[in-house]
Structure 1
Amino acid sequence: MNLEEIFKKECLDEINQLGENQEINHLTHNWMKQVNQLKYSYHFEWQGRPIIQYPQDIVATQELIWNVKPDLIIETGIAHGGSLILSASMLALLDMYDAIHLGVMFDPKISSRKVLGIDIDIRPHNRAAIEKHPLSSRIEMLEGSSIDDSIIKEVYKIASGFERVMVFLDSNHTHDHVLAELEAYAPLTTKGSYCVVFDTIIEQMPKEIFTNRPWGPGNNPKTALLEYLKSRPDFEIDKDISNKLLISMSPDGFLLKKEG
């Protein structure tokens, strides 16, 4: 093995140890339980837009996009638009990479790569902020329920023109809604790419945190994910990501579509 391979093997061994260390995992869980009471994930931005994610998940997202190199990212749930901007910025970097290393013509305003965002209610001030962002040309938004038949058909129509697709699910967090999203959009994930189910952490949090929400322990993205996987052997949970992050809104939410 060369030095790079040795380094990566050491990292993987350490990541496995982190995942197996119950004391560390207990400390991590207690920390997240405390900070979530003060909406810790709401306090970060990406290029000027609130992203409502943990920094660790942001790093994981950029790693996935860089490694998979998708040309379409489908996101359910837009909120303030920070996640759309993160995805768009990574696609812009991929275009620049192609221009430098593959000799492909690079025009920052024209790209075959796209982010498609879906939300049942795109608030006017958020839409305006996203549309005036320098990366807005890479973003398309659909307003409507992500599980409405007309929206699903439109997404499939748009996705038909792309070769490598990644999916992020982060809208209504109830079991039934997320399961319906998985059934609708996970099949669009191309082999070797990911369908990421956000906010699986809800299953591990105290139910009193969600007294004003229709979701909570026993009824959330994690329960939907586990139900979906029962009939989809083509997907598997990438445990290495959760073990590496430890602090994450989406433990076990990184679903890899197998190559075989």
Structure 2
Amino acid sequence: MNEIDKFAQEVEQNISSLGDDKELQKMSSQWLQTAGAHGYTYNFTWMGRPIIQTPQDIIALQELIWTVKPDLIVETGIAHGGSLIFSASMLELLGGDGEVLGIDIDIRAHNRAEIERHPMSKRISMIQGSSIDEKIVQQVIEVAKSKQRVLVILDSNHTHEHVINELEMYSPLVKQGSYLVVMDTAVEDMPAGSFPNRPWDKGDNPKTAVWQFLKENDRFEIDSRIENKILISVAPDGYLKCVKD
């Protein structure tokens, strides 16, 4: 075994060990809950724009994009645009003509202006409207028709009903070997009432939608290796790998 393979084997052993350590996983979840009370995920930027993710999930997405090498990344939910910028910068590093398509029901003027003046804007397109509006979905499908490999990230309205609709509408775009990533599944792991000003809560959130989706769709499975590796994640059970076309 050469040194590269030896190191890779050691990493896999580390990840497997982390996956077996239930106490450490519990501590990580508790840590995220405590840090979340301080607005932890709001404190980071990517190339100057707020990204609203944990650094651990950013690293996980970096690894996925580098491995999958998508020529289209579809993201629902834009907010300040940091995630679009991140995805575009990864595609820039990969080279080629990869594009990012963002959908949001309300792209605020100041955020749009900052995204459009950013150096990575050359790879970004945006559509304003509900991600589950059939007309919006058809626009996305038209863009995806000419693409070989699509990666989808769902991060908009976090209610069960909205996310299950997104999963059903966007999952056909993802082919074997690529990923459908559902963010903020960690809502299910938070105490009930943690989001008093939001329409989602424990029992009604992205994770419950993922669980229902996987009961009805055998093309995807949870890639537990990712969450075992990063430990702290807003997307437990949310990294869905497409295992067949």
Aligned to 1:65: 65
Residue type at the aligned position of 1:70 = P
Instruction: String of CA shifts for 1:67-104, please: whole Å, max 9, x gaps.
Output: 00000000000000000000000000000xxxxxxxxx
Aligned to 2:134: 149
Q: With structure 1 as the length reference, what TM-score do the two structures score?
A: 0.92
Aligned to 2:18: 18
Distance in 2, Cα, partners of 1:235 & 1:207: 28
Deviation of residue 208 (structure 1)?
A: 2.5
Aligned to 1:128: 113
Aligned to 2:184: 199
Question: How do 1:91-106 and structure 2 match up within 5 A?
Answer: 91-95=91-95
Deviation of residue 37 (structure 1)?
A: 0.8
Matched, 1:182 2:176: no
4+ runs deviating over 6 angstroms:
none
Deviation of residue 32 (structure 1)?
A: 0.9
Aligned to 1:44: 44
Which of 212, 228, 240 is equivalent to 1:243?
228
Contact conserved, 2:220 with 2:244, CA < 8 A, in 1? no
Aligned to 2:144: 159
Aligned to 1:53: 53
Deviation of residue 30 (structure 1)?
A: 1.5
Residue type at the aligned position of 1:170 = D
Residue type at the aligned position of 1:253 = G
Aligned to 1:102: none
Give the secondary-structure state (helix, strand or coil) at the position aligned to 1:207.
coil
Give the secondary-structure state (helix, strand or coil) at the position aligned to 2:197.
coil
Segment drifting more, 12-21 vs 213-222: 12-21
Deviation of residue 112 (structure 1)?
A: 2.4
Residue type at the aligned position of 2:30 = N
Instruction: String of CA shifts for 1:124-162, please: whole Å, max 9, x gaps.
Output: 000000000011110000000000010011110111011
Matched, 1:228 2:213: yes
Contact conserved, 2:32 with 2:232, CA < 8 A, in 1? yes
Structure 2 segments unaligned to the other structure (5+ residues): none
Question: How do 1:106-117 and structure 2 match up within 5 A?
Answer: 112-117=97-102
Q: With structure 2 as the length reference, what TM-score do the two structures score?
A: 0.98
Deviation of residue 6 (structure 1)?
A: 1.6
Structure 1 segments unaligned to the other structure (5+ residues): 96-110
Aligned to 1:254: 239
Contact conserved, 2:193 with 2:202, CA < 8 A, in 1? no
Deviation of residue 27 (structure 1)?
A: 1.4
Aligned to 2:78: 78
Distance in 2, Cα, partners of 1:26 & 1:122: 36
Deviation of residue 259 (structure 1)?
A: 4.3
- What's the C-alpha RMSD, in Å, of the aligned pairs? 1.0
